[in-house]
Amino acid sequence: MDKFELQDFNKRIELNTDLKNISVQICNYYDLGDFVSNELIEIGYEDYNYYLTTSKGKYCVKIFSKARSTEDIKNYLERIRTVANSEVSSPKPLLANNDIHLSLDYENNHYDICVFEYVNGKNYFEIGENPTSEVIKELARQTALINNLDITPEFIYDTWAIINFEKEYSQKREYLSDKYKEEFDRLLIELKNIDFDKLPKGFVHGDIISTNVMIDNNSKIWILDFAVSNYLPRIIDLAVTSCNMCLDENSKDKTYDNIALLLSEYNKYNRLTDYELEVFGTFYKLANAMHILQPTYIIETDGDSEENQYWLNEGVVGYSYSDDNRLKKIL
């Protein structure tokens, strides 16, 4: 990572000191032993995440972005506590003084911090491989567990979320090609025609994608980062997972097979309604559309990156599959 990219990450938390100084404070607060090293996690668009190695082990640190309000952070902490006390396979937050939240003031700056157990593995963005059928089945099971959690948190706005397509599209439409302007104008009409009152709702992760799905050295699947989770139609999770984790860029047939497997496996735990299946295609298109809209906007206004290109390509390929009539036949 070059100096300028590092500065972009530092801006998220207005870091005005050596990160080591923050890590030493974290070591003291959580009783993690002596500081050894830091390793920045270079993916993700929101918070400042890094691995902290100490004399006692390795941990994952999240410092909340300055863009998050105090209320947003409070709401997110509520989500973490709920997930930590469930059967969902997600890294557990560390406790200090019976709390998972470190509110740290250091050198005239404030940092809101959570520290998580370290999972020895890689996420699917790093692996660069498509998940196996067994992994897709496990994702369906984990999604059902998440959707069934007894929590109705305060709404957190996410610029990438399907539910916010209308607002985000109206603000960023000008950055798209004429082709996608026409496509998304029609898609917006489809969205407005959906009867959201008919859709079963639940606690939705909202971002079960390759950067947030990790496989450890024992082949166990972990779901990461509930930062944009909300109480929403549960079909959203299935659409988002389908547009990325089920996508095979080299095969429409394999993509359809993966989506069918995800939905049929999920249906074993949470029965999908006829209306959910009826509108799934629209949600699938919306998920892919967001992966075109947001990277395009970011590239035009803030510069390009490997991650931007990855999501843009995923969106373009996925959206090209979504109009195929065969998608409807697998539901």
Clarify whether residues 65 and 78 are in a common domain.
Answer: yes
- What pLDDT does residue 328 have? 66
* Dist CA 65 CA 52 (whole Å): 18
Clarify whether residues 48 and 145 are in a common domain.
Answer: no
- What pLDDT does residue 323 have? 74
Q: Which residues contact 248 (CB under 8 A, 6 or more apart)?
A: 130, 254, 255, 258
What share of the chain in percent tops pLDDT 70? 95
Q: With cut-offs at 50, 70 and 90, classify the pLDDT of residue 109.
A: very high
Residue bearing the bigger pLDDT, 38 or 307 = 38
132-146, 168-182, 280-294, 313-327: which range is least confident on average?
Answer: 313-327
22-26, 47-51, 117-121, 324-328: which range is least confident on average?
Answer: 324-328
Q: With cut-offs at 50, 70 and 90, classify the pLDDT of residue 303.
A: confident
* Highest mean pLDDT: which range of 61-70, 153-162, 231-240, 304-313: 231-240
As a whole number, mean pLDDT of residues 57-85 equals: 92
Clarify whether residues 210 and 149 are in a common domain.
Answer: yes
* Domain limits for position 38: 3-118
State yes or no: pLDDT of 1 exceeds 50: no
Clarify whether residues 111 and 184 are in a common domain.
Answer: no
Of 64, 94, 118, the residue that ends a domain is 118
The string of pLDDT tens digits covering residues 90-107 is: 999 999 888 999 999 999
Q: Which residues contact 223 (CB under 8 A, 6 or more apart)?
A: 88, 89, 90, 142, 146, 205, 208, 212, 213
Clarify whether residues 59 and 190 are in a common domain.
Answer: no
As a whole number, mean pLDDT of residues 43-50 equals: 83
Clarify whether residues 298 and 211 are in a common domain.
Answer: yes
As a whole number, mean pLDDT of residues 269-293 equals: 96
CATH of the domain at 130: 3.90.1200.10
As a whole number, mean pLDDT of residues 274-294 equals: 96
Clarify whether residues 108 and 137 are in a common domain.
Answer: no
Clarify whether residues 168 and 269 are in a common domain.
Answer: yes
The string of pLDDT tens digits covering residues 160-206 is: 999 999 999 999 999 999 999 999 999 999 999 999 999 999 999 99
Q: Which residues contact 301 (CB under 8 A, 6 or more apart)?
A: 175
The whole-chain average pLDDT of the chain stands at: 93
Name the domain count of the chain: 2
Cβ pair 248, 318 in contact under 8 A = no
Clarify whether residues 133 and 100 are in a common domain.
Answer: no
CATH of the domain at 70: 3.30.200.20
Q: With cut-offs at 50, 70 and 90, classify the pLDDT of residue 4.
A: very low
Of 118, 148, 181, the residue that ends a domain is 118
State yes or no: pLDDT of 157 exceeds 50: yes
Clarify whether residues 268 and 233 are in a common domain.
Answer: yes
Clarify whether residues 97 and 128 are in a common domain.
Answer: no
Clarify whether residues 98 and 132 are in a common domain.
Answer: no
DSSP 132: P
State yes or no: pLDDT of 10 exceeds 50: yes
Of 59, 87, 118, the residue that ends a domain is 118
To the question of pTM greater than 0.85 for the whole model, the response is yes
